[in-house]
Amino acid sequence: MNLKEIKELMELMRQMGVSELEVERSGVRVRIRSGRAAGEEPVVSVLAERSALDVTAAKPAAEPAAAPAEPERGVLVQSPIVGTFYRSASPDGPNYVEVGDVVKKGQILCIVEAMKLMNEIESESDGKILEVLVENARPVEYGQPLFRIDPAPA
């Protein structure tokens, strides 16, 4: 795969709004991940199968010096099973929860589909949704964090 083909893939990703793409052709695998922050360049990794040719074709813009990490607050809601994460009951339906929503213990947060069974994932405590950690319709692993919730004060 040459640079022109990689640039064409990047343009196609931009047009379609895709954030990550992986293509394998003739033993060469190319993974392109778009930048998350404004102005950040896409990351392109070209990996040859079982050879010494591991090259990064482009790298993200230099990151500013990071401030000391602030401890993450809140509790994580983790996936109890392997499956596909869905934020709503149907593709056209509203999301169960949004960032900033106040939830009650037992309230449905999302669905994880496993083997064609829809498993409702419920909040284990009262609190406020701080962060949704998985994109809709993405695969999730057992124990993978799905949400960060700030527990309600006692």
Tell me the CA distances in angstroms from 70 to 33, 63, 66, 92, 153, one per residue in order.
Answer: 26, 18, 11, 37, 21
d(CA 121, CA 108): 6
Dihedral of alpha carbons 113, 114, 118, 124, sign: negative
Residue 4: its pLDDT value, please? 77
pLDDT above 90 covers what percent of the chain?
46
Q: How many CB atoms lie within 10 A of CB 124?
A: 14
Residue 58: its pLDDT value, please? 43
pLDDT digits (tens, 9 = 90+) for 43-82: 555 554 444 334 344 444 445 555 555 556 889 999 999 9
pTM, two decimals, is: 0.54
What domains are defined for the chain?
A: 3-58 (no CATH), 75-151 (2.40.50.100)
pLDDT at 153 over 70: no
Q: Which of 136, 148, 143, 149 is nearest to 79 (CA)?
A: 143
pLDDT at 89 over 50: yes
Q: Are 127 and 149 in contact (CB under 8 A)?
A: yes
Residue 60: its pLDDT value, please? 44
Residue 43: its pLDDT value, please? 53
Residue 59: its pLDDT value, please? 43
- DSSP annotation of 89 reads S
Interval 26-42 mean pLDDT: 63
Amino acid at 154: A
